[in-house]
A and B are shown apart, each in its own frame.
Chain A
Amino acid sequence: MSSIYFIALPLLFGFAVPILSRFGKNSVAYSSAIMQLALLYLAYSMISMPNSVVEVIAINPPLGISLVANKVSVAFVLLFTLLMSLFSIYYLDIRRTKPYKDENKFFILINMLLASAIGLVLSSDIFNIYVFFEIAGISAYILSAYEGSAKAYEAGIKYLITGMIASIFLVFAIALIYIHLGSLNLAVLSERFMTLPSEMKLLISMLLFIGFGFKVEIFPLNFWVTDVYEGSSTLVNGLFSSIVVKAYLFVFFHIFYLFIPSGEYGSFLVMVGAITMIVAETVALKQTNLKRIFAYSSLGQIGFIFSTLTLESSSAVTAAIFIVIAHSIAKLAIFLTITIIEHSSGSVDISTLRHIKSPFVVTIFIVAMVSLLGLPPLLGFTGKFLSLKSFAVSAEFLPLTIIIIASVIESVYYFKLVGLLLDRESERKPLPTSLIQKSILSLLILILVVVGVAPWIISPYIDQASHMMLDNSLYISTLLGAGK
Chain B
Amino acid sequence: MSDIFTYLNQKEVIDSIVLIGSMALFFVGLFGLLSQKHIIKIFISISIMEISIFLLFVGSTFVKGYTAPILGDGFEKFVGMNDPIPHAMILTAIVIGMAVFALGMSFAIEYYKLTGITDIDKMREMRR
Q: Are B108 and A157 in contact (CB under 8 A)?
A: yes
B61, B96, B101: the one contacting A178 at CB < 8 Å is: B61
Name the interface size band of chain B. 20 to 34
Q: Which residues on the B side are within 8 Å of A137 (C-beta)?
A: 100
Decide if B103 is an interface residue (CB 8 Å cutoff): yes
Decide if A255 is an interface residue (CB 8 Å cutoff): no
A154, A156, A172: the one contacting B53 at CB < 8 Å is: A172
Q: Are B123 and A158 in contact (CB under 8 A)?
A: yes
B42, B99, B111, B120: the one contacting A138 at CB < 8 Å is: B99
Q: Are A154 and B123 in contact (CB under 8 A)?
A: yes
Decide if B33 is an interface residue (CB 8 Å cutoff): yes
Name the interface size band of chain A. 35 or more
| Contact residues of A: prevailing secondary structure | helix
| Residue of B with least CB distance to A152 | B125
Which candidate, A71-79, A97-105, A162-170, is the interface stretch facing chain B? A162-170
Q: Which of B98-128 contact A (CB under 8 A)?
A: 99-101, 103-104, 107-108, 110-111, 114-115, 120, 123, 125-126
Q: Which of A144-167 contact B (CB under 8 A)?
A: 145, 148-151, 153-158, 160-161, 163-165, 167
Q: Are B111 and A157 in contact (CB under 8 A)?
A: yes
Decide if A217 is an interface residue (CB 8 Å cutoff): no
Q: With A and B bound together, what is the CA distance between A134 and B101 in angstroms?
A: 12
Decide if A131 is an interface residue (CB 8 Å cutoff): yes
How many residue pairs link A and B with beta carbons under 8 A? The number is 94
Q: Which residues on the B side are within 8 Å of A230 (C-beta)?
A: 126
A150-B115, A231-B125 given; A165·B33 CB < 8 A: yes
Q: With A and B bound together, what is the CA distance between A404 and B108 in angstroms?
A: 42
Which candidate, B5-13, B66-74, B85-93, is the interface stretch facing chain A? B85-93
Q: Are A178 and B85 in contact (CB under 8 A)?
A: yes
Say how far B88's CB is from chain A's closest CB, in angstroms: 9
Q: Are A153 and B96 in contact (CB under 8 A)?
A: no
| Residue of B with least CB distance to A131 | B92
B39, B89, B101: the one contacting A157 at CB < 8 Å is: B39
Q: Which residues on the B side are within 8 Å of A231 (C-beta)?
A: 125-126
Q: Are A154 and B99 in contact (CB under 8 A)?
A: no
Decide if B82 is an interface residue (CB 8 Å cutoff): no
- B-to-A contact residues, CB < 8 Å: 33, 39, 42-43, 46, 49-50, 53, 56-57, 60-61, 85-86, 89, 92-93, 96-97, 99-101, 103-104, 107-108, 110-111, 114-115, 120, 123, 125-126
Top 6 closest pairs, chain A to chain B, by CB = A175-B57, A153-B111, A151-B125, A150-B114, A154-B125, A160-B104
Task: Pick 20 A–B contacts, CB within 8 A, sort by A.
Answer: A131-B96, A134-B100, A153-B111, A154-B126, A156-B107, A157-B104, A158-B123, A160-B107, A161-B120, A164-B50, A164-B104, A165-B46, A168-B53, A171-B50, A171-B93, A175-B57, A178-B57, A178-B61, A178-B86, A179-B60
